[in-house]
Structure formats: structure tokens, C-alpha cells
Structure 1
Amino acid sequence: METLHLVLNAVTVIFIAATMFAAGLGATVSALRGVFADAPLLLLALITNMVVIPLLGWGIGALFSLPSASFIALILVASSPGGPFGAKLAMVQSGDIVGGAAMQVLLASVGSITFAPTVNGLLTAADVGANVSLDVGALVRAVALLQLVPFAIGLLIRRYAEPTARSWRPAAAAVSNVTFLIVLAGMLLGNWQGVVALLGSLALLAGFLLSAIAFATGTLLATGPPVRRTTMGGVASVRNAGPALAAIGIAFNDQPAILGALAAILLSGLAAALPIATLLNSRRKATTAAVTQDPAGGRPHGPGTGVAP
């Protein structure tokens, strides 16, 4: 089992780096500027991920009267934004990949600082005592190394060697896709006992609802076209497991019940977010296919296009 965890950790690192590198290869400085210059979008994303979703996790846990271990795990997940699966969901739904990757890195960086006080405040308010104290510097360095650096390298290659970026991007995306499937399978195999132990409880439903409602909330509390709004929803729906795992080790002595609940909640959250992203992708492909193309020139024609049918 220890070997499986080591292999899974290595594959997870490759998945995060490959996903961010592929996103960087498809990014442009002007596109990034458009995201970070949109003050309302940034403000709404921060409020959604730093305030609304943590409170949502607390509310769902209280509503379902979750046992202590599951309640703690749900609060840890809800309080940790910027999960690396956010950029992957942007790819799955054919969304705003550049905006999703940029927002994910920003949220993960800010979340490294806000995570501990948010968790402490919510657990204190819920009368579940725990003093979570984390090395903020280590968390920020992890975000920079695994997410920001690969994204920046891809962005620089796109800016100064665009043909190379275009040729490398399919391979990087393929690595991201394959490792994504391996990470999902590994999460199931490595934590199946904890997941099975929670079958019949409300913890799985709580994780599912947290992710689904976070997806909707992130979409509603965003600006821009629908593609960007649903991308922000996907980023909001998946959370960053790193700080949560660190907190369990430091503040809760790696209690198996909390670790099992964390795995179950993360997996049930992905079970909610992935189908939504897949459905969005299918609808966008159907909309694109519905645009009638001129057989000769491949140009759209029909009412409103200015090209005769």
C-alpha cells in the first residue's frame, strides 16, 4: 500500500505539472491580461471561493448533522480553493482554459494564506475544537513549484516560440489526460476502504452537493461570456487537497476516519463536477456542429451571416 501511495503521489505531480504546462502553451499574455484586469471577476471569484463555499460547507455539514470526522473533512475541503483539477475541468468542458488556469493559481496562492484561519474560525463556530497551524511559506512554494512554474514556462514558450508551443501542446494534453485517469483510479484503489466505510452515510452526499452547488455558485458569481462563467464554476467546484492533507497530519495526527472522509468527499465532489463539465462540452460541440458550413469554403452561411446559402 505504501508503494501505491508513492506511485500515486508521483503521478499526481506529473498530472498537475502537465496540466498547467499544457494550459500555459495555449495561453497568451493578452488573454491573461484580460483575466487579471477584470476587477469584478477577480473580486467575485475571491468572495465565492474564500467566503461563500467555506460557509456552504459548514451549512451542509450542520444540515446533515455529520459525524465529527466527516464534518471536519468537509470544512477542510470547502476552505481550500484552487484545486489543480480546476484547469482540467476547463479543458473537459471546452471552456476558458487560460482564464481557468490563471484563476486556479491565484486562488491556490491566496488560499494557502487564508486556509488555516478559515478552518479555525469555522471549526470554532461549530464547536469542533482544533487549532490548525500550517507552514504558509511551504504551501505557497508548493503552489509555485507545481502550478505557477509549469504554467509560466508554457506561457513563455508560447510567446517566444509559438510553433514549438503548438507542436508540444497535444503531447502535454495527452500526458495530462492519461495521468488524470491514473490519479482517479489510484484515489479509488488507495482509499476504497474509507469510501466503503462511508457508504450509506451522508458524507458522500455532502461532498457531492458541495461540489455541485459550488459549480453553480461559481458560475453565477462570475462575469463575462458563458464559457468563462462556467469555467469559473468548474474552478470553484474542485478544491485543493494539499492544505487539507497537511492539516490532517499536523492538527489531527492523521486520523484514519478523517483521511477516509476526506478521500470520500473529494471523490464524490469529482463525481458531481465531471459530468457537468462533460455535459457542457457535449452541448458546445453540438452547437458548433449545428452551424452549417459552406462545402466549398467552409464558411458559415444562412440567416445573419452575410453569406448566401
Structure 2
Amino acid sequence: MNTLHLVLNAVTVIFIAATMFAAGLRATVPALRGVFADVPLLLLLALTANMMVIPLLGWGIGSLLGLPSASFTALILIASSPGGPFGAKLATVQQGDLVTGAAMQVLLASIGSLTFAPTASAVLSAADIGTKVSLDVGALVRTVALLQLVPFVIGLLLRRYAEPTAQSWHPTAAALSSITFLIVLAGMLLGSWHDVVDLFGSLALLAGFLLAAFAFALGTLLATGPMTRRTTMGGVASVRNAGPALAAIGLAFPDQPTVLGALAAILLSGLAASLLISTLLSRRRGVPKTPQEHTDQATTQ
């Protein structure tokens, strides 16, 4: 099992880096400048929704469903950790705005590495379950920079200064991202299926599904721009970053395997909700438009 974990960790690293590299290969500096200049998008989606509302939403769902301590803790850890790398992949799945999604995901991951520890600690303390979280913020920032920001910037620079190379490399990077994505999903199921099965009667799976679904709706509602951009932001909001949560479990709950099992279950059920919504959006957008629909869309945008 240790070998499986090592292989899964390695594939996860490749998936994150390949996903962000592929996103960078498709990005342009003017497009990114437009994203970061959109103050309402940054304030409403990045700060209000992801940093404040979704952690409180996790608290509310956990309390409403009466989750036991381990599942409740795992849910709060996930809700307090924005910027999951799967968010960029969901933009591709739903045929959304990949450039905006990737840029916002990197921003949320960077900010979230700083806000995760105090947010999770505050919510868990307020919930009065006697749990505190202590994290190495510096290590989290370095991890985000190495695995997400650096590959994205490299891809972006290639697109800007060597566009033919970027175009020729993108199909390979995208294929690597998709293949490793499937391997990561299979590995999570294989490595934690006992814990997931044990949690079927605890409502933890339902809690993860509801958190992702409501976060998707909230992100879409608070985003700006055309619907493809808004639902992309919904996908980014719905997928949380497992890295800080796993670090918190390693530091604060090393002798509580039930918390790790609950985390895996909540992550998988939340990802299932996000994938379901994104797939439905993709099918809807895959229907050929009539000439009048193309005209209407161009007019609205």
C-alpha cells in the first residue's frame, strides 16, 4: 500500500503540473490582464465566496447533517481550502473559459495557502469540537508556487514568445493531463475504498456532494461576464485544494485515520458532483447552434 501511495503522489504531481502547463500554453497576457482587472470578480468570487462563504457553508452543512467529529473536521478542512487544481480541468470538461479558470485557480490557491490555517482553525473552534489546526504556511506557499504557478507561467511565456512551439506542445500536455487525471481518480478510489464504504451510513458522502453543488452554484452566481465564464468560476469554486487539508491532517491528526478516510470520501463525492454538473454543461454546449443563436450570443457578448 505504501508503494501505491508513492505512485499516486507522483502521478498527482504530474497531473497538477501538466494541467497548469497546458492551461498556460493556451493563455495570453492580455486575457489574463483582463481577468485580474475585473475587481468585482476578484472581490466577490475570490474573497467573499471562496474565503468566507464556502467555509461557513461547510459548517452549516456539517451541523445540519449532524456529522460525527472526524467527518465534520474533514468537511471544514476541505471547505476552507480553495484553489484545487481540478478546477482548471473542469473548465475543459464543460467547454468553459479555461484561461480565466486557470488564472483564478492559481490566484485562489496562492491566497488560500495563507488563509487556510486561520480559517479552518476559526471555524473548528467556533463549532466547539475541541480541534485546532496548525500549519507551516511557508511550506504551503512554496508547494503552490512549485506545482501550480511555475508550470502555468512557463506555459504562458512559451505562448507569448514561442507560439508555434506552444501550439505544438499543447495537445501532448492536454493528453497527459487527462490520462493522469483518470489515474488519480482510480488511485483515490483504490486506496480509500474501505474508508469510503464505511462512511456510507454517516452522511459524509452527501455532505461532500452538497458542498460542491452549492459552491458551484455560488461561484456561478457571483461571477461576472458571459455564462461560459460564470459556470467556469462555479467549477473553480466547487473544487477545493486537497494539499493544505492533507497537510493539516498530517500535522494535527496523525493518529486519527478516520479523519483521512472522511477526507477522501468527501473529496470524491464533491468531485463527482462537480464532474456531473460540468458534463451536463458540456453536453448542452455541444449541441450545434442555429445561425440565429450564434447571432444572439454575439450580441449579448
Given the two structures, how large is their TM-score scaled by the length of structure 1? 0.93
Partner SS state of residue 229, structure 1: helix
- The answer to whether the aligner puts 1:29 opposite 2:26 as a matched pair is no
Given that 1:25 and 1:165 are in contact with CA atoms closer than 8 Å, whether structure 2 keeps it comes out as yes
Q: CA deviation at 1:301?
A: 11
Residue correspondence of structure 1 range 271-290 to structure 2 within 5 A: 271-286=272-287, 289-290=288-289
Residue correspondence of structure 1 range 182-261 to structure 2 within 5 A: 182-261=183-262
Q: CA deviation at 1:201?
A: 1.9
Partner SS state of residue 24, structure 1: helix
Partner SS state of residue 14, structure 2: helix
In structure 1, distance between residues paired with 2:34 and 2:286: 25
Partner SS state of residue 96, structure 2: coil
User: Partner residue of 1:297?
Assistant: none
In structure 1, distance between residues paired with 2:187 and 2:204: 20
For structure 2, the residue ranges without an aligned partner over 5 or more in a row are: none
User: Partner residue of 2:170?
Assistant: 169
Q: CA deviation at 1:285?
A: 1.4
Total equivalences in the alignment:
296
User: Which structure dedicates a bigger proportion of its chain to helix?
Assistant: 2
In structure 2, distance between residues paired with 1:56 and 1:304: 36
Which string of whole-angstrom CA distances, capped at 9 and with x for unpartnered residues, describes residues 140-164 of structure 1? 1100000000000000000011111
Which string of whole-angstrom CA distances, capped at 9 and with x for unpartnered residues, describes residues 194-247 of structure 1? 101101221100000000000000000111111111011000001000110111
Which string of whole-angstrom CA distances, capped at 9 and with x for unpartnered residues, describes residues 144-191 of structure 1? 000000000000000011111111101100000000000000000011
Higher alpha-carbon deviation: 259-268 or 89-98: 89-98
Q: CA deviation at 1:50?
A: 0.4
- The answer to whether the aligner puts 1:43 opposite 2:67 as a matched pair is no
User: Partner residue of 2:74?
Assistant: 73
Given that 1:248 and 1:254 are in contact with CA atoms closer than 8 Å, whether structure 2 keeps it comes out as no
User: Partner residue of 1:53?
Assistant: 54
Given that 1:80 and 1:243 are in contact with CA atoms closer than 8 Å, whether structure 2 keeps it comes out as yes
| Structure 1 residues 304 and 53, CA gap change in structure 2 (3 angstroms) | closer
User: Partner residue of 1:20?
Assistant: 20
In structure 2, distance between residues paired with 1:278 and 1:303: 25
Residue correspondence of structure 1 range 108-147 to structure 2 within 5 A: 108-147=109-148
Which string of whole-angstrom CA distances, capped at 9 and with x for unpartnered residues, describes residues 41-65 of structure 1? 0001121000010000000000011
| Structure 1 residues 126 and 303, CA gap change in structure 2 (3 angstroms) | closer
For structure 1, the residue ranges without an aligned partner over 5 or more in a row are: 293-299
Given the two structures, how large is their TM-score scaled by the length of structure 2? 0.96
In structure 2, distance between residues paired with 1:7 and 1:233: 31
Partner SS state of residue 231, structure 2: helix
Which string of whole-angstrom CA distances, capped at 9 and with x for unpartnered residues, describes residues 111-164 of structure 1? 111111111111111101222111111101100000000000000000011111
Partner SS state of residue 16, structure 1: helix
Q: CA deviation at 1:303?
A: 8.0
Q: CA deviation at 1:254?
A: 4.5
Q: Identity over aligned residues, as a percent?
A: 77
Q: Give, as a single letter, the amino acid of the residue that structure 2 aligns with 1:18.
A: A
Q: Give, as a single letter, the amino acid of the residue that structure 2 aligns with 1:81.
A: P
Q: CA deviation at 1:302?
A: 9.8
What is the root-mean-square deviation of aligned Cα atoms in Å? 1.5
In structure 1, distance between residues paired with 2:207 and 2:96: 26
User: Partner residue of 1:295?
Assistant: none
Which string of whole-angstrom CA distances, capped at 9 and with x for unpartnered residues, describes residues 251-280 of structure 1? 112511000000000000011000110111
